[in-house]
Amino acid sequence: MNQDLVIQRFTPPLKLAHFRLAAFDMDSTLISIECIDEIAAVAGKKEEVAAITEAAMRGEITDFKESLRRRLALLKGVPASALDQVLRERLQFNPGARELCAALKAAGLKLVLVSGGFTFFTRFVAAELGMDYVRSNELEIIDGKLTGALMMQAWGDICDGEEKRRMLVQCAAEIGATPEQCIAVGDGANDLPMMGAAGLSVAFHAKPKVREQAMVAINAGGLEQLLQVLR
């Protein structure tokens, strides 16, 4: 049995034409890094921040908002130039990210980027991949330094698992689609609510808890393998 691509609770292939929207997590899903950990690395605080990230992704810290606030507090005073450095030197797309997004767009799907990460990075990723909708967190920067806080946006200040699910459902409704006609792709515990709402849930190199609950688990290789399941 191929453990690189695990399919459960349905019989492939599914009709690509059935789906109208695909929602993606960003950090460790579309891109290979956790941006907050890399900002911390530039600031010399990676170990402290990464330990909280890892526990949150595994679902050990169940309140994502709390875990994010704890990590952000450690970044207070970090120069905003650290963001540029991470984008320039560390951000890389995961294998198959461009191919999968291009194929889904060509098939007429709308693409949604929903991230517990930051607008500084989601803007770049969304532009590169042709995303139609984006929701993520806005870092507060005063006098060229991170304050350790987030800016309030029209929908709230922290995009957590529940907000990701709400965004998927809202974007689907906007284009006249049902959640059943949506694909959700993620890797961490805070992706489970949107994956649970979608007609097709996909775990990419994910934490065990997420792999178990997903209909498709891509455990090795690139994101483009999802296209083997969709015809």
Among all residues, which ones are annotated catalytic?
25, 27
The rounded distance, in Å, linking the Cα atoms of 101 and 111 is: 8
204: Cβ contacts below 8 Å, ≥ 6 apart? 28, 29, 94, 185, 186, 187, 218, 223
Query: Which ranges of the chain does DSSP label H, i.e. alpha helix?
Result: 35-42, 46-57, 64-74, 81-89, 97-106, 119-129, 161-174, 192-197, 208-213
Question: Nearest-CA neighbor of 54 among 194, 224, 171, 187?
Answer: 187
The rounded distance, in Å, linking the Cα atoms of 95 and 84 is: 23
DSSP state of 69: H
CB 39, CB 195: distance < 8 Å: no
